[in-house]
C-alpha cells in the first residue's frame, strides 16, 4: 500500500460575506450574501490531495463547538483520514472572508483551536516516519511545524511547507529541513527581504532561500501561473489556465495539495505543474475553499481540453 501523505495544519470555519467592494472605515456596506463553509489551509490542502486520489491523513486541532461536526464531515467526505485530528476545549478556528465580486478576498483569521498544541501527539510522532510526505502550512504554531519537520526529516520523509498563514520570518532550523518551500510572490518577498516584481527577481529570491538550505522552491504567481526552482538545473515556469474566477479562496491550497500529490506519484516536473495549475483553475470556479477542491476525473478532463 502507498505511504500516506500527512497534512499537519489548520481547519477553520470560513465565515463568508459577499460584498461589492471593501468598506471604508466607518462605512456600512450592504452585503450580497453570507454563508459558512469549510476551510483552513491544512484542511484545504488535505482535501485537495484526497479528492485527487491520494491517501491522506490530517493532523490538527478542532474545538468543541457547532462548527466541529460539519468540518469533520467535509474532510471525511473528501476522503481524508481523521485519526490524527484532536478535539480540544474552546472554539474552532474561524476565518472571516470578505469576498468581492470578481473573486478577490480579504481574510481575518482567529486561530482558536489551531493554536492549542502542546508538542507533538504520540500518535502523530509515531505516524510521521511511515509517511510518504509531510505537508505543512503556517496556521499552527511554528514550534509544532518545527517538531514535525524534524521528526519527518530524521526519518527521511520529505517535508513540503506552504508559506501561507503567517508573516513572520521562518526559523533557519525549519528552512534547513524543507525539501520544498512554496510561497506566493508576496510571501517570497517577505521571507527574503528581496523584491519579487519581475521573473528575474523571483528567481533571485528563490535562490536566496536555497542558499539557506531549502531544496526546491515552488513559487505561486497567481494569474501568471507558477515557477518551479529546483536546487540544481533550470527553473521551470508554468502559465496559469484562463478561466472565469468566482472565488480565489483556497486556490493556492489546491495548487500545493495537488502538486505534492503529483510529486508523491512520481509525475515528471512539467506534468506536476500542469496538474496543479489545472486543479487550481477548477478550484477558483466554485464558491468556498474546501468545497471547491476538484476530483481527479475533473482535473484529467480539464487537462484533455487544454492540451
Query: What amino acid positions are annotated as catalytic residues?
Result: 253
Give 93's contacts (C-beta < 8 A, 6+ positions apart).
Answer: 10, 11, 12, 13, 40, 63, 109, 110, 111, 112, 113, 114, 139
Q: Does 182 bind ligand RIB (CB under 6 A)?
A: no
Three-class secondary structure of residue 61 per DSSP: strand
DSSP 8-state code for residue 281: H
Q: Does 95 bind ligand RIB (CB under 6 A)?
A: yes
Three-class secondary structure of residue 155 per DSSP: coil
Which stretch, 68-76, 149-157, 215-223, 246-254, contacts ligand RIB (CB under 6 A)? 246-254
Quote the radius of gyration of the chain (alpha carbons, Å): 18
Pairing label, strands 180-182, 216-220: parallel
In angstroms, the Cα distances linking 42 to 8, 161, 229, 295 are 6, 11, 24, 18
What x-and-dash track marks residues 140-179 binding ligand RIB by CB under 6 A?
------------------------x---------------
Which stretch, 34-42, 66-74, 168-176, 277-285, contacts ligand RIB (CB under 6 A)? 34-42
Site residues for ligand RIB, 97-136, by CB under 6 A, read: 107, 109
Using CB under 6 A, which of 63, 158, 250, 257 touches ligand RIB?
250
Measured from the CB atom, is 110 or 189 closer to ligand RIB?
A: 110
Give 33's contacts (C-beta < 8 A, 6+ positions apart).
Answer: 16, 17, 18
Q: Does 183 bind ligand RIB (CB under 6 A)?
A: no
Using CB under 6 A, which of 7, 8, 41, 138 touches ligand RIB?
41
Q: Give me the residues that bind ligand RIB (CB under 6 A), please.
A: 10, 12, 14, 39-41, 44, 95, 107, 109, 139, 164, 249-250, 252-253, 289
Amino acid at each position: 500500500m502507498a505511504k500516506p501523505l500527512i497534512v499537519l495544519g489548520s481547519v477553520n470555519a470560513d465565515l463568508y460575506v459577499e460584498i461589492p467592494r471593501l468598506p471604508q472605515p466607518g462605512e456600512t456596506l450592504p452585503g450580497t450574501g453570507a454563508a459558512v463553509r469549510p476551510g483552513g489551509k491544512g484542511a484545504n490542502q488535505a482535501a485537495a490531495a484526497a479528492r485527487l486520489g491520494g491517501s491522506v491523513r490530517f493532523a490538527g486541532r478542532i474545538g468543541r463547538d457547532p462548527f466541529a461536526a460539519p468540518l469533520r464531515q467535509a474532510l471525511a467526505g473528501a476522503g481524508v483520514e481523521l485519526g490524527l485530528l484532536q478535539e480540544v476545549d474552546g472554539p474552532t478556528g474561524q476565518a472571516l472572508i470578505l469576498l468581492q465580486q470578481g473573486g478577490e478576498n480579504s481574510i481575518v483569521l482567529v486561530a482558536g483551536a489551531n493554536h492549542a498544541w502542546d508538542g507533538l501527539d504520540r500518535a502523530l510522532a509515531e505516524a510521521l516516519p511511515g509517511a510518504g510526505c509531510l505537508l505543512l502550512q503556517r496556521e499552527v504554531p511554528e514550534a509544532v511545524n518545527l517538531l514535525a519537520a524534524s521528526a519527518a526529516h530524521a526519518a527521511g520523509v520529505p517535508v513540503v511547507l506552504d508559506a501561507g498563514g503567517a508573516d513572520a520570518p521562518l526559523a533557519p532550523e525549519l528552512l534547513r529541513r524543507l525539501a520544498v518551500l512554496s510561497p506566493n510572490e508576496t510571501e517570497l518577498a517577505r521571507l527574503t527581504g528581496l523584491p519579487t516584481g519581475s521573473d528575474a527577481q523571483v528567481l533571485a529570491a528563490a535562490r536566496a532561500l536555497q542558499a539557506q538550505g531549502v531544496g526546491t522552491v515552488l513559487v505561486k504567481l497567481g494569474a501568471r501561473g507558477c515557477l518551479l526552482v529546483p536546487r540544481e538545473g533550470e527553473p521551470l515556469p508554468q502559465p496559469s489556465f484562463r478561466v472565469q474566477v468566482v472565488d480565489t479562496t483556497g486556490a493556492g491550497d489546491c495548487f500545493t495539495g495537488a502538486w505534492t500529490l503529483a510529486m508523491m506519484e512520481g509525475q515528471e516536473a512539467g506534468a506536476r505543474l500542469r496538474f496543479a495549475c489545472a486543479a487550481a483553475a477548477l478550484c477558483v470556479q466554485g464558491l468556498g475553499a474546501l468545497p471547491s477542491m476538484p476530483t481527479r476525473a475533473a482535473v484529467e478532463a480539464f487537462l484533455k481540453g487544454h492540451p
